[in-house]
Amino acid sequence: MSDAEAARSERNREILVLSLVPVLVLALTMASWGLAHWKIGPVIVNAIPALLAVLLGGLQRFISGVKDALRGKITTNVFITVALAVTIAVGEFRPAAVIILIMAVVGALESYTLDKSRRSIRDLLHLTPPTARVRRGDEEVSVPVAELQVGDVVLVRPGERIPVDGVVTAGSGTVNQAPITGESMPVEKLRGSEVFGGTLNETGRLEVRTAKIGSDTTLARIVHLVEEAQGTKAPIQGIADRFTVWFLPTVLLLAIIGYVTTGNVKVAVAILLVACPCAFSIATPTAVTAGISNMARRAVLIKGGIYFELAGKIDDLLVDKTGTLTLGSPRVVEVVGAAGIAEDEVLALAAVAEKFSEHPLAKSVMQRAAQRRLTVPDPDEFKIEVGMGVSASRAGARILVGRADFLEARGCNVSARLADELAAQAERGRTAILVARDSQAVGLVAIADEIRPETAQAIAALKALGLRRITMLTGDNPRVAQAVATQIGVDDFRAGLLPEDKQRAVREIQAQGRKVAMVGDGINDAPALALADVGIVMGAAGTDVAIEAADVTLMSDDLGRVVDFVQMSRMVLRRIRLNIFFSIIYNAVGLVLGTLGLLTPVVAVLFQEGGCVTVVLSSTLLLWAKTKRISDLAPLVAREREAGPPRGGTAVVEHRLAKGA
């Protein structure tokens, strides 16, 4: 039996026990009531079933309560232990059994709710097929996934799920990665592409070399991290413990007052029973668990409830540029031809000259030529002019690609129109390379790190949520940073930063007493991510270090997931406060009624446990809660973007990196 199967089996046994306990407690309570009603046997005989019910359903709580009391801690379990001990001591056996019964029912309901949220995540593991076809020499054999080894070549046909994390070694296809990255559209996979276990190969045949198996796969790690996060305790959860510290002595005092003023011990017992803070103790964990599960289904992993609380208080958001707001690699964004020269002709000439170059800009030119389905023949001659450009020849024509002074130094004429266009591209933060044929410049190719399509809307949506300031951080030069910042609508930017400069930016804002969240790619941004109140890594699918280091991990490259996370954080905090409000109202009303002598012990129990049911149902609703769409939020700040471009922060430093960080 695998570890996952053993864990499921253990959890099923736990659910079975939790389901049986309320049934057994109910049977014993009814037996005790029946014996007492029909006066069968002495009092001690008809009390025994009730006492057994109390022990069966409450023994674990009593043990915890005694241990907490011995350690000098006044907790919810201490409160319940004291209340039930007094109830039994005065002979109210059946009311004690009733409160244990309702607590058992509420506990089973809470456990079912939490298990349902966990099961929705654990069920992801079922996406991995039980067997895989593996190449063994010249044969294809079917083997259990559990027996796969790193380095095995797995064959995946159209319509099959990929069983392992690995790299495509042959074939091509489109893969639905929604369970891992949350991407709604299938992703094209070619030789060298990374794939994840549990994703669906929709088209094409793939050969995948296994890199990770079993519990090391990205899917298994996601499940583990979510389940681990669901067991963590949020700071706001400590309110329940602090509340109990002063609440128990207060209730004991009220119980004594009730007994002294009425002379009826049942009044004191009713006060103790109606004041049990069960609902208060589950107000936070149920809401946090539901929120974590909700976000996990959107491929957002949250390490614990503390980050819901912190994210709900964020003042400033710092966002890395390259790879976070942009695609992270240079791409051809525009081709401009001189008078009478077609764009494809300019691009084809540039591609011929750059075909054998290893420069990143050359690769972007070749990529664009491939997208345009242009035929690119080999150059007859090819020479790199370091720091300037390239020169080549084809079919008797000389081709030059590079900077303006490079072309001019070789006698090429650059028209006024192209010179103006070159300056305009520079103002927009783009790198423009001129293309010349023989002695005439025929056009230019503009290259830039392309902004992600959803970035501007996501930034606008975050502003609409009330974040005080959104600042872009980059190692790129100020001119490029200004151009990107203006297009995406951030409030400020800091350029020319090294990793330690980004960390310093976080520290400066925190020194002003403001909460800071940092969004980055988990590599150069690691120091800033670690220092920020909430560190958010974007596009971390398959990156072990990023998943382990981040407070919040976005498995996709969609900045809109940050918008979802901030919204869900606020929803969880509101639900926790609402749950606490419900529990306090139930306790307050119950205490007033009990002090006035209007509650019997049984009615007090029913009234108090009604608060528990309310809290559990309230938290359960978060499992299906939906956040507002970015398209609904973004227009709320459209007029702010008309106020003008971001000015750039006072911490802008000299450009010290050859490539954006």
The residues carrying an active-site annotation are 320
DSSP string, 301-315: EE--HHHHHHHTT--
Other beta carbons within 10 Å of 598:
13
Nearest alpha-carbon partner for 338 in 483, 439, 447, 480: 439
C-alpha span between 300 and 251 (Å, rounded): 43
Nearest alpha-carbon partner for 462 in 448, 472, 474: 472
DSSP-assigned letter for residue 635: G
Q: Is 128 within 8 Å of 145 (Cβ atoms)?
A: yes
Terminal CA-CA length for the chain: 46
State the SS3 of 351-416.
HHHHCCCCCHHHHHHHHHHHHCCCCCCCCCEEEEECCCEEEEEECCEEEEEECHHHHHHCCCECCH
What burial class does residue 56 get, using C-beta atoms within 10 Å of its C-beta: 0-12 exposed, 13-18 middle, 19+ buried? Answer: middle
C-alpha span between 240 and 579 (Å, rounded): 12
Residue 404, phi then psi, degrees to nearest 5? -60, -45
Query: Can you read off the two tokens belonging to residue 238?
Result: 């400590």
Query: Can you read off the two tokens belonging to residue 440?
Result: 């005439």
b/e for 419-434, b at 16 or more Cβ within 10 A? eebbeebeebbbbbbb
H/E stretch holding 30: helix 3-37
For residue 473, the cross-strand partners are 320, 494
Is the dihedral angle over the CA atoms 571, 572, 578, 579 positive or is it negative?
A: positive
